[in-house]
Amino acid sequence: MHSAEIIDEAGTSEKDDKPLTLPFYKLLSQADKVDWILMALGTLGAIVHGLAQPVGYFLLGKALDAFGKNINNTDEMVKALFKVVPYVWYMAFATFPAGILEIGCWMYASERQVRRIRLSFLKAVLSQEIGAFDTDLTSGKIITGISSHMFVIQDAIGEKLGHFISCFATFFSGVLIAFIACWEVSLLAIFVVPMILVIGATYTKKMNAVSATRMVYLSEATAMVEQTISHIKTVFAFVGENSAIRSFSESLQKQLGISRTEAFVKGFGTGLFQVVTFCSWALIVWVGAVVVTAGRALGGDVIAAVMSILFGAISLTYAAPDMQLFNQAKAAGQEVFQVIERKPMICTNHEGKELDAIKGSICINDVHFAYPSRMNTPILRGFSLSIPAGKVVAFVGSSGCGKSTIMSLITRFYDPIEGSILIDNYNIKDLDLKFLRRNIGVVSQEPSLFSGNIKENIQAGNWEADESQLQKAAQMANAHSFICDFPNQYFTEVGQRGVQLSGGQKQRIAIARAILKNPPILLLDEATSALDTESEKLVQAALETAMQGRTVILIAHRLSTIVNADMIAVVENGVVTETGPHPHLLTSNNFYRSLFEMQNLSQDSDARVEDPMEDLASIYTDASSHFPDESREANRTPQLSPNKEDLKERKERAVFYRIWFGLRKREIVKIFIGSCGAALAGISKPVFGYFIITIGVAYYKDNSESRVGKYSILFACIGFLSCFAHTVQHYFYGLIGEQAMTNLRQALYSAILRNELAWFEKPQNSVGSVTSQVINETATVKTIISDRMSVIVQCISSILIATVVSIRVNWRMGLVAWAVMPCHFIGGLIQAKSAKGFSAAAMLLIQNWTQSIKYGIIQGVSLCLWNIAHAVALWYTTILVKRGQSSFENGIRSYQIFSLTVPSITELWTLIPTVFSAISILTPAFHTLDRQTEIEPDEPKQPPRKSIKGDIEFSNVSFTYPSRPDMIILDNFNLTIEAGSKVALVGPSGAGKSSILALLLRFYDVNEGAVLIDWKNVKSYNLKVLRAQIGLVQQEPLLFSFSIRENICYGNEGASEAEVIQAAMEANIHEVISNLPRGYDTSVGEKGCQLSGGQKQRIAIARVLLKKPAIMLLDEATSALDAESERAVINALESLKQNTTNITVAHRLSTVINSDTIFVMDKGKVVEMGTHANLVTASEGVYSKLYRHQSFAGN
């Protein structure tokens, strides 16, 4: 995947000069003296480990010499062999401390270093200016950097680097021993090694290119899944499931295409290694025969040279995966260190001035500004304003005029392009940034809460505050009462981004947090926008108390909240056009007067209160978690069988067979062909073990040159056969693995999107965990099939062939080979277990040297046992020769066949547990796949395409949210709405208004009673057909990371350009879009971050207007709009076809006074209903009180 673009536009030239990949030594830049000592000791251990194999073959050569020199004298031969055996034991025992040093030291050193890199990365991220997060540092890049990138780096600079050094030690020591034994043969390494290196480099380069392309496609697919799940309510409301599945499938098909190239490169590259290796053997053993015939070397020396060089060269191929990992680590390190080394435009650690106290005077001088993501779109064009200390100043103006931008500049989230901002006559650039922000309190329009409990979120304002101060702040923010209603009160978990709370509740906690901070400067950006009228009045009074003695900047579209401000600044097109108190502006400023007249309820017009999505658990779709859950949803009634127990038993028995998901007959044929290739590839090791000893003995016989020449030709033929077999094996298994993974991903994703909304609201089904299940866990299928099963078949083939041939050559030695197999087996098993332990340690970043030493001891024991088996074999061969029960040739040959095949046994035993482990990882995914949704979206299968009229009835409905079954939302609720009528639902937060909209869309099913549309239970409709005829605009607009055009067309992809523009014009957003450099093709950014709240809302409204629904559901649809845009949008909504049923949820009565019927709700019931005129006359009624609270006359 391409490296992250970290440097912003100002530093583009610097970025271009930097290398595209990170030098490997840079990964070790965080090492201290202790780390270097550990790495030096680890290198020593790796070198000794690497020496073991060449020294072993050197001793084998000495054994052959002992045989050749005494070929006609058995007693002397036995004496000579017994002199060699002790050295094999010495070598075995030397590998024990080497293993401890190699693994223990490298592992511990890598843990220490990665811990520092991780902390440096986190510090660097937190020190960046906000502009970096708008453009380069997306949440995905940050999470990838601090998690998966760190694991790759730790793996690369830890045990894999030790393994890499060990492989090169094997190679260089092999070459050295070859020169000592027979320099003529060793010179051939000059030709052999370059071929292996060239092939290895070409193979690695090609695989890296394929992997990079695959990662791009995988990132694209991951983003699609994450976005769809985090916007699941919007997806359901606009029937976007099929569109999401189609886009996801198209992305997977791209991966499927690249997998063909990947499978062929992997197979042919591996096969080419075999060709070069066997042809090299053929050449070298023949040259060895020439040398022996000429009397310049002994046969044992030639075999020692041949084995040392060629196995040394093969060790380079074992290092190839390490090199691939190093490349991945350098790519990961490039992204990580670009962030670490990025110089923020606004430095958090800048040693600026810290004043004794801030009084609070603010002076903004001729400020020009454009957001880094849209430098061509200026926001402020010479903004100037002076604010005296302790005064309350309000900004009013249309959406997008730059009001919120000023707050971002005062807090130094951004720096102005021109001009300056002074606080107490000090340029804020000269003040210490942390000091500045400690003295500024902010409450934004979209409140942000952290995962944790309510107490922790409020305490974030002042960690030193005690319990009484915290509760006092909550009481001032009118939050204490609803907090105490929760079972756990202040220790209630708020969920990811506060998902467990309503909009109003989140806002009040955010206000309490700001009050607790007690700052001299307070910035309130629509601070009460999400509160109902009663709560707003209480909070407003609390804020007015909290604002005393402070400098306060207010932003509000609702003028009722700012009329008492000391100064009101009218902002238009990025400049202040006029300032003054409320009475002055009413007479002197036409823009302000028109806003006031539109919002003066005393004149039967507007006042503004923005509604929360008040019902608990009703806004879960805005949550986005990147932390996987500990458990998964247990399977419920299976989709494919009515008998749940039978299916469960079948799944437990046959999970393995399900990994071959959705394969057809022709894929089964491919599996058979791939298995034949794998079985054929398994012959190379036993054949080599048999003939290499045969050749060693042939050196001491007559006509050795011609004899060895025949074996050389045979070696070359086996090499080409092996190339063909490996290509067939990896190509077909690679295709099958990719196809099975793709099939499972598509089926799982489709199954997930069939689940009801309540399933997504469960903690274990967070966005991060579901995305991980679809992308990461399903990748296990390919790992099992392509990387595990094919090798398992190959290993079984090698073991069977080796066993048969070994027993056939000499049954006694064959049985002893099996008898010492536990040494190989235990050694291999220990290494497999320790590898699993290393991985776990890396994941947990264990900072405990005893753990590393433990894994080192395990490695040492495994290496020692491995070499003990060789010592026992040579000793027993000598015994057999002494007793006359075997010739030296057959004894060594029988063991060598088995010895060279033992790695296949170890690998087999290592692979089988990983397959079962991988299957256990897949089990939750299959549970999700088999789960029967509680709200079936596609029943009946073939619904009549009849348009609904819009008659609605709630009959004796009782309802609780599945996540909060103890909290009653609707209690025996009844409501009737005629088709084509415009009705409104008003009432305090938690009354159940938004729940009614959710039930109409059948996001949930009622506990009791029925919801009827056109006198037909919503449960009898095909849900997708029903939702296609219902439009929803939510209070918090959710946009996808597409272009503006694609967002407007979402759910209605066939719309023409003219229809899109018409919808945008009706939503009063066309002019704004047209002024953007790329117009309708402008990307809205992650979750719409490139747009203001009002712009996002108008695009969401345009999306619904394009849909032309029969029933329109507006949940505070205009809450984020300025008065002018709101009036235009309301007119557009009212101009919809007359038979459209409109249901509006609102706290701001100005948006509902023209409704045919207004239903006033409280505690899950309708307490009043009627027209605006009728309800106002009831002086003691709930609606009348709301009306008086929102009237300027009342203020």
Burial status of residue 376 (CB atoms within 10 A of its CB: 0-12, 13-18, 19 or more): exposed
- Dihedral angle at the C-alpha atoms of 521, 525, 527, 531, nearest 10 degrees? 170
Q: For residues 270 and 684, what is the distance between their CA atoms, to the nearest angstrom?
A: 13
Contacts of 387 (CB under 8 A, 6+ apart): 361, 362, 363, 364, 393, 551, 553, 567
Ramachandran sector of residue 347 (left: φ over 0; alpha: ψ -120 to 50; beta: rest): beta
Which residues in the chain show pLDDT less than 50?
1-19, 601-653, 832, 834-837, 839-847, 1192-1195
Quickly count helices (H) and strands (E) in the chain. Answer: 43, 20
| Cα→Cα distances 940→932, 1018, 1025, Å | 16, 12, 10
Please, is 196 exposed, middle or buried when counting C-beta atoms within 10 Å of its C-beta (0-12, 13-18, 19+)? buried
Q: How far apart are CA 652 and CA 640, in angstroms?
A: 15
What confidence score (pLDDT) does residue 380 get?
A: 86
> What is the token pair recorded at 348?
């958090």
User: Residue 55 phi/psi, 5° resolution?
Assistant: -65, -40
- Rounded to whole angstroms, the Cα distance separating 297 from 187 reads 14
Ramachandran angles phi, psi of 1046, nearest 5°: -65, -35
DSSP codes, 636-687? -SBSS-S-HHHHHHHHHHHHHHHTSTT--HHHHHHHHHHHHHHHHHTTHHHH
Measured CA to CA, the distance from residue 415 to residue 1137 in angstroms comes to: 48
**What pLDDT is recorded for position 1010?**
92
Angle between helices 106-127 and 139-146 (to 10 degrees): 160
What's the pLDDT score for residue 725? Answer: 92
- 198 CB-contact burial (10 Å; exposed 0-12 / middle 13-18 / buried 19+): exposed
What is the Cα 511 distance to its own chain's centre?
32
Measured from the Cβ of residue 665, the count of other Cβ atoms closer than 10 Å reads: 7
Helix/strand/coil for 571? strand
- Residue among 620, 508, 647, 808 nearest 231 (CA): 620
The whole-number pLDDT of residue 763 equals 79
At residue 440, φ and ψ (nearest 5 deg) are: -125, 125
Axis-axis angle for helices 665-681, 790-809 (nearest 10): 40
CB 1031 within 8 A of CB 1104: yes
Continuous segment of H or E residues that includes residue 441: strand 440-443
Q: Give Cα separations from 166 to 222, 232, 242, 541, 903 (angstroms).
A: 37, 51, 53, 73, 17
Find where tokens 């088709």 sit.
979
Name residue 353's beta-bridge partners.
Answer: 431
883: burial class by Cβ within 10 Å (0-12, 13-18, 19+)?
exposed
Per-residue pLDDT at 18: 41
* Contact indicator for 345, 415 with CB cutoff of 8 Å: yes
Q: Count CB neighbours of 710 within 10 A.
A: 11
Residues in the chain: 1195
Q: What's the pTM value of the predicted model, to 2 decimals?
A: 0.65
Maximum C-alpha span of the chain: 126
pLDDT digits 0-9 by tens, 906-923? 677 667 767 777 777 778
Is residue 353 within 8 A of residue 426, CB to CB? The reply is yes
Strands (DSSP E) contained in 313-425 are: 362-370, 378-387, 392-396, 418-423
